[in-house]
Amino acid sequence: MDLLPLLVIGGVLGVIYTLLSEGFSLIYGVGGILNGAYGALYMLTDYIIFAIFIVWKVPVLAAISLSLLAIFFIALLIQKYVVARGKSQLDVLFLTLALAFVVQYGVQYLQCSSAFSGNCAYPAFVPIFVKGSSTILGVSVNNQQLAADVVAIFFLTGLWLFLSRTRYGSAIRAVSQDKDAAELTGINTERTQMLTAGIGALMAGVSSAFLGSYQSVDPTIGWSIITLAFAIVILGGLGSLKGALLASFILAFAQTFVLLFVNTLLSDFVSLSILILVLLIRPQGIFGREVVS
């Protein structure tokens, strides 16, 4: 059994999973809510990139930047006009899930309507924007996935510095620890939550832009993404950024392991079963229930 491919492929995947799930975890930690629209934001990013790229014929990187900007503001609006309206966790979960369906069917409608492509079967795609592949420890990896890892590591380091060194970061941590106390000290909790929602959406968006080139983009991809992010966040311990990091790698390595050494068909089943078993045996996750730190 050759362990090098496992390490390389699992590691590459784990970094992207981390980026994907930390956004969800951050939103949970600060808002105390499960954002059902997280997957929809992921999906929407790909479609905005596609639309800008096809309609305006701008370079891919410009399209991605515009799309990330758009998704950031969309997330702010959702936080302000949808999430903030919900009275309980349950309301928010249902509202955001309903919103995800609105977005999904809206995109589907646009895609099929004559204004856009006029053909439901015409697939959306995100072009590969970092070409070629390189060999690491004898394992061939696409350059775009490596670029994704580099960007993700920068992003996560930046996030960590932002949370630990800046005033806004302290505000975010304060709100995640105790919202009422944070409000008493003069923190604008509403704005802090909006900022968090925006950052979270950006993280979904960045991973979406990089992963979009490798999967067929359709309006339903958000559901598998949100399931993945949700699973990782629960596995790591709700709202724990450290836990989500660890859980991302565990899941990535487990999936790669089954894929490489056991059976391609079994991959999904094994990773799902591991998750279910962990939940049943240790429901509080690896790092228990702690706040963002």
Cβ proximity of 29 and 176 under 8 Å: yes
- Window 129-188: residues binding other proteins (CB under 8 A): none
Widest pairwise Cα distance in the chain = 58
- Least distance in angstroms from the C-beta of 97 to other proteins: 8
* Contact between 227 and other proteins per CB under 8 A: yes
Contact with other proteins (CB under 8 A) among 113, 134, 140, 188: 113
Contact with other proteins (CB under 8 A) among 55, 147, 273, 288: 273
**CA 31 to CA 84: how far, in whole Å?**
10
- Window 81-110: residues binding other proteins (CB under 8 A): 82, 85-88, 90-91, 94-95, 97-99, 101-102, 104-106, 108-109
For residue 217, CA distances in Å to 80, 104, 249, 281 come to 28, 12, 25, 35
136 phi and psi angles, rounded to 5 deg: -115, 120
What residues does 134 pair with on adjacent strands? 141
Query: What are the tokens at 2?
Result: 């050759």
How many Cα atoms are found within 13 Å in the side-chain-facing hemisphere of 7?
Answer: 8
Only segment of 8-16, 141-149, 158-166, 228-236 that touches other proteins (CB under 8 A): 228-236
Contact with other proteins (CB under 8 A) among 125, 162, 168, 223: 223
**CA 197 to CA 194: how far, in whole Å?**
5
135 phi and psi angles, rounded to 5 deg: -110, 120
- Window 231-260: residues binding other proteins (CB under 8 A): 231, 234, 238
Residue (of 46, 41, 69, 66) closest to 56 by Cα position: 66
What residues does 136 pair with on adjacent strands? 139
Q: Tokens 């966790």, residue?
A: 89
- Least distance in angstroms from the C-beta of 103 to other proteins: 8
With CB under 8 A as the rule, give the number of residues binding other proteins. 41
* Nearer residue to other proteins within complex by CB, 5 or 222: 222
- Least distance in angstroms from the C-beta of 92 to other proteins: 10
**CA 235 to CA 63: how far, in whole Å?**
34
* Contact between 121 and other proteins per CB under 8 A: no
- Least distance in angstroms from the C-beta of 111 to other proteins: 11
Q: Tokens 């639309």, residue?
A: 51
- Least distance in angstroms from the C-beta of 264 to other proteins: 10
* Contact between 115 and other proteins per CB under 8 A: no
Binding site for other proteins (CB under 8 A): 34, 82, 85-88, 90-91, 94-95, 97-99, 101-102, 104-106, 108-109, 112-113, 220, 223, 227, 230-231, 234, 238, 263, 265-266, 268-269, 272-273, 275-276, 279-280, 283
